[in-house]
Amino acid sequence: MTYTELASTNGEAQTIVETALRSAPPAELEPGKYYAFHTPTGIKEVDLTGPATAPDRKLGVTTVRDAVSFHAYFEKHADIDSEVYADSDRLTITAVLDAHQANAPRFNQHVLKLALRETEAWKQWAARDGKLVDQEQFAEFLEDHLPELLEPSAADMLEIAQSFQATSKVDFQSASRLSSGQRQFQYVETGTAKAGQKGQLSVPETFTIGLVPFEGSEGYRLTARLRYRIGQNGLLLGYKLERPDEVRRTAFADVVTAIGEHIDQPVMNGTPA
């Protein structure tokens, strides 16, 4: 093959390659990366590491834990057509910030959710509600929760707890109700030094505690009624909270009211579609 023929063949091959490249479907490049390509005129560089193109709309679910955070985000992103829903069963308040307008649909994909969480103190008192334990365990629980004890005072309840610990080795025989509203327990010492000696221990039949049901919410007063049983295992003690579910519902309703007072949109009962 002569030089002229070889050059002609190479030229035809190059033309075919260029035609194939031009007819190839376009490829989508990923933002945030740097690309380099071989081209007939040299190396072509494409830098996609710069700022990405701004999205055409807001979307996503933002979850907050208190009303203050809900207000801050809502005021920044809401408009007159935003919708707000409260669900007492799920303890959530949900705002659809891009809700449908009256005469025009929107995406319904920019959502703000307040998901309330119970405080540790509330969960611990609720977990012990109605359960009987021995004197030591009951006394330790009272000592661990002195900040929540309102009436009698924390100091008085601490003294009661210490009394239970001091009488852990006695034989409780009976209990009676006093006109003062206390429960009096009669016992007999079983220790070797004081064996046979009798004594009494008086305990409030009801006591008042202060609990914050949800993180970031207000505190509420609850009444706890003393529960006990004298049996073969000695004296077992506990408490029964009065209507804790009602207090929980009230606390949620107060959070809904607090949010409703700071926004123009009505708070509807339910959940969004």
* 8 A C-beta contact, residue 157 and residue 150: no
Integer Cα distance of 163 and 157 in angstroms: 10
Residue matched to tokens 């000696």:
197
Q: What is the largest CA-CA distance in the chain?
A: 129
Integer Cα distance of 59 and 107 in angstroms: 8
- Length reported for the chain: 273
DSSP 192: T
pLDDT tens-place string over residues 169-190: 788 888 888 888 888 888 888 7
* 8 A C-beta contact, residue 222 and residue 208: yes
pLDDT tens-place string over residues 17-44: 566 556 656 667 676 676 777 676 777 7
Integer Cα distance of 265 and 81 in angstroms: 8
* Residue 91 binned pLDDT confidence (cut-offs 50, 70, 90): very high
Integer Cα distance of 133 and 89 in angstroms: 31
Mean pLDDT of 64-87: 97
